[in-house]
Structure 1
Amino acid sequence: MRDYRNSVYRPAAFARRAKSLKMGNTLINIKNHSLNFAISHKGISLEPTNPFWYKFQVVSASFRNFLPSLEYGEHESNFFKLLTNQQQSYFEQSLQDVPKNLKVRFHGYTLQDIKARPGVIATFHSGSFRMIGHYLAKNDVPFALVVSKNGMQKENELVNMKYDSQKIEHLGFNLINANDKNSLLRINRELRDGKNILVYVDGNTGTGDDLTSRNLISIPFLNQHVKVRAGAAFISYLSKSPIYPVVSTRQWKRVPCLDFFSPILPNKELNRQIFIEQAVSRIYKYLEKAVSKRPWQWETWLHLHAHADIVNPIAEQISESVNTERKKKRLVRFNEEDYSFFNITGEYFLFRKRDYQCFGIERWLYRRLEQIYRKDYPFTVPLLQRNHMKDLITNRVVLEI
């Protein structure tokens, strides 16, 4: 077996050669190739050769960091439920009308209040998130949708498919490019004209490139912090418009539900930055309650690694077995709770889940990790030590059983 002591995996090389999933490296980016997912997860074996392997491991890392109470054994089922929910959401966007079983709950106000005082409708990519726009349109609530530059064409096609020209004209419906430097001016104009602004606050774009840096803040979310765009609160403060937080979920038997939570009113007596941080944190608290109960409802788990701010590092909680009968052999297993490995376009990586770090490794080591993971060969501690793979034991990439 080849000596890998000078490999990029060595502990001393971690900080120097590690690639972070949050760096946006094209090799590491998650591609949304599950839109046509229509297979029950019961018949799928998530092995390293499975096309969903990489995506699952990254989502599992976010489950580990943000929801440590979720047992590792539940990660896979929640991952496939997430993909199923994503598929169902895309199916629902083509429905001709709002589903009859849609539940809508207003907490302390009514739809008429939104019509009477237009504001920023702040929501997330959770549950049946497309239902929010459809519900507003069905009830003749004028609104403009803020969307990234990359999504403009797709959203325009959806609108044209969903509504006829008369309905679009009646609503005065517009799409606003979030990346346009003039987007803030357009948003203010739409608000003055009596329209609401629908914003997905867990999107990865800000309102205008010139506002991007000051639009990014870190707020508490579940067990960690997350870096989010503060555009919705920024707009509210400048325009003196209320924020209407909305969270879409699926109830029992996947019944779609929209919760319109209490409005957040701009307070000019507060420092702008303080208001923004308080408002955004409050919006995410509503999402937090839904996600902690049913993690699979939030589509952004697929991209959360790009926005994660790890402030509460979770120590490895794995304890090795002390089975004396097998102690003589000192067999090992792969520590899949804390590590994984990828093969992406011919490059090989060891993945550390606690901080989303990827370490480039050579092909032969990747194959050994795969063999250990599959239990294809009875690898032991002495065998790894003899073949210069002691680092795998030291760093708990493999665990003695």
Structure 2
Amino acid sequence: MIYSEDNHSWSYALFSAHLHRYMPRLKWEQHQFIYQQWCNYHLPKPLHSNLIWNTDAIESLPKAEPSILVLYHLGMHAYIPQILAENNIQFDILMDRKVFAKHQEEMSALRDLCHEKGTLHSFLMSDDPSVLLKARTTMRAGRHLLIFADGNSGTKDTLERKLKVSFLESSIYVRKGIAVLSFLLQMPIVPLAHSVKDGRYYLFMGEEIFRLSHESREDYLLRSMQLLFQFLANQIKDEPWRWECWAYLHVLNCYKIKSYITPNFSLKLAENIHIQLEERKGIFNRKYFCYQFE
């Protein structure tokens, strides 16, 4: 539910605040419709399905040099490893240990399915002190490394240890692990996404990202992460409901809230909405992420 009586849900309030932060040209009254689309789009889906996928755009991957394949939480991210496996693409997956534990059943099903194809060899954990050595082993064995660029995974770095990149109409602080691995292992980065047309799903690759000659480490880290999030922005700028992460950006430590003088909490302003927090009614300002109890 988006709201109960005149009280919007806390999840909707945060979703709307994040949407406004990165897409401020959207009218406030559009947010409820987009949120409902988002809720419907991200309903749980069975791991096994009869979806029709076109993979012509990735036909070069099985014989390509080992790359870091980057996924995003765009609704079909649970299926894409299966599609890669079905197309005989060899890969390991690097992910957060807590995420792996939370989705143990899905991960086990994915492992079983991929093992039937002989494609997924192992899961690497991001907090493993030897993860770099294991990633190097993956590369030397001729396998790709599959990693999510967004979402609640990876190390809990402070903002100071992250990279600030442009994203849609604002900026976002992102972890640089993908770029660091690419730099150290000299592996190119290949972003992956999907589109839908006439009931058919199309898996495609973005432009390959690699270090330029004489490019410094810091310049490459920033440029590569900027390109990865520009690719993501291009996928959601016209269909924002596709991105799962709108709901939990506040727990990813990926933005700074601007300082402000106490805002006007008048409900005559569209940015203010009724919500209930800790069983008390109040007003939430979606522009400044602040709350006032009634």
- Give the 3-state SS of the residue equivalent to 2:92 in structure 1: strand
Q: Go from structure 1 to structure 2 and tell me whether the alpha carbon gap of 1:283 and 1:351 turns closer, same or farther (over 3 Å shift).
A: same
1:186 Cα offset (Å): 1.9
Q: Go from structure 1 to structure 2 and tell me whether the alpha carbon gap of 1:288 and 1:71 turns closer, same or farther (over 3 Å shift).
A: same
Greater RCO (CA < 8 Å, at least 6 residues apart): 2
Q: Normalised by the size of structure 2, how large is the TM-score?
A: 0.85
**Matches of 1:177 and 1:335 in 2, distance apart?**
49
Q: Go from structure 1 to structure 2 and tell me whether the alpha carbon gap of 1:137 and 1:312 turns closer, same or farther (over 3 Å shift).
A: same
Q: Kindly report which structure 2 residues correspond to 1:92-171, keeping only aligned pairs within 5 A, or say none.
A: 92-95=46-49, 99-100=51-52, 102-104=53-55, 106=57, 110-113=58-61, 115-162=63-110, 164=112, 167=115, 170-171=118-119
Q: Deviations over 1:82-123 (max 9, x none)?
A: 111111xx314232x6x22x23463xxx53345330110012
Count of equivalent residues: 290
- Give the 3-state SS of the residue equivalent to 2:153 in structure 1: coil
Q: Go from structure 1 to structure 2 and tell me whether the alpha carbon gap of 1:308 and 1:104 turns closer, same or farther (over 3 Å shift).
A: same
- Give the 3-state SS of the residue equivalent to 2:3 in structure 1: coil
Q: Deviations over 1:318-343 (max 9, x none)?
A: 9xxxxxxxxxxxxx971463123443
- Give the 3-state SS of the residue equivalent to 1:91 in structure 2: coil
Asked if the contact 2:62/2:87 (under 8 Å) is kept, the reply is no
- Matched residue, 1:61: 17
The RMSD of aligned alpha carbons is: 3.2
Give, as a single letter, the amino acid of the residue that structure 1 aligns with 2:26. Answer: L
- Matched residue, 1:186: 134
**Matches of 1:222 and 1:350 in 2, distance apart?**
27
Q: Go from structure 1 to structure 2 and tell me whether the alpha carbon gap of 1:62 and 1:45 turns closer, same or farther (over 3 Å shift).
A: closer
Could you tell me which runs of 5 or more consecutive residues in structure 2 were left unpaired when the two chains were aligned: none
- Give the 3-state SS of the residue equivalent to 1:355 in structure 2: coil
- Give the 3-state SS of the residue equivalent to 2:42 in structure 1: helix
Larger radius of gyration between Structure 1 and Structure 2: 1
Higher helix share: 1
1:258 Cα offset (Å): 2.1
Q: Paired residue for 1:270, among 203, 215, 223?
A: 215
Q: Deviations over 1:159-178 (max 9, x none)?
A: 43346478258224211222
- Matched residue, 1:224: 170
**Matches of 1:355 and 1:153 in 2, distance apart?**
35
Q: Kindly report which structure 2 residues correspond to 1:81-92, keeping only aligned pairs within 5 A, or say none.
A: 81-87=37-43, 90-92=44-46
- Matched residue, 2:243: 298
**Matches of 1:333 and 1:166 in 2, distance apart?**
55
**Matches of 1:253 and 1:63 in 2, distance apart?**
28
Q: Go from structure 1 to structure 2 and tell me whether the alpha carbon gap of 1:79 and 1:254 turns closer, same or farther (over 3 Å shift).
A: farther
- Give the 3-state SS of the residue equivalent to 1:140 in structure 2: coil
- Give the 3-state SS of the residue equivalent to 1:181 in structure 2: coil
Asked if the contact 1:225/1:311 (under 8 Å) is kept, the reply is no
Q: Which region of structure 1 is more displaced relative to structure 2, 296-305 or 262-271? A: 262-271
1:344 Cα offset (Å): 3.1
Give, as a single letter, the amino acid of the residue that structure 2 aligns with 1:269. Answer: H
Give, as a single letter, the amino acid of the residue that structure 2 aligns with 1:77. Answer: F
Asked if the contact 1:224/1:312 (under 8 Å) is kept, the reply is no
**Matches of 1:84 and 1:61 in 2, distance apart?**
19
Give, as a single letter, the amino acid of the residue that structure 2 aligns with 1:149. Answer: R
**Matches of 2:221 and 2:269 in 1, distance apart?**
39
Instruction: Determine if the alignment matches structure 1 residue 199 to structure 2 residue 162.
Output: no
Asked if the contact 1:224/1:310 (under 8 Å) is kept, the reply is no
Q: Go from structure 1 to structure 2 and tell me whether the alpha carbon gap of 1:76 and 1:174 turns closer, same or farther (over 3 Å shift).
A: same
**Matches of 1:308 and 1:335 in 2, distance apart?**
30
Q: Go from structure 1 to structure 2 and tell me whether the alpha carbon gap of 1:160 and 1:335 turns closer, same or farther (over 3 Å shift).
A: same
- Matched residue, 1:40: none
Q: Paired residue for 1:79, among 28, 35, 59?
A: 35
**Matches of 2:39 and 2:173 in 1, distance apart?**
24
Could you tell me which runs of 5 or more consecutive residues in structure 1 were left unpaired when the two chains were aligned: 1-43, 319-331, 366-401
Q: Which region of structure 1 is more displaced relative to structure 2, 302-311 or 289-298? A: 302-311
1:68 Cα offset (Å): 1.5
- Matched residue, 1:377: none
Instruction: Determine if the alignment matches structure 1 residue 259 to structure 2 residue 204.
Output: yes
Instruction: Determine if the alignment matches structure 1 residue 355 to structure 2 residue 285.
Output: no
Q: Normalised by the size of structure 1, how large is the TM-score?
A: 0.64
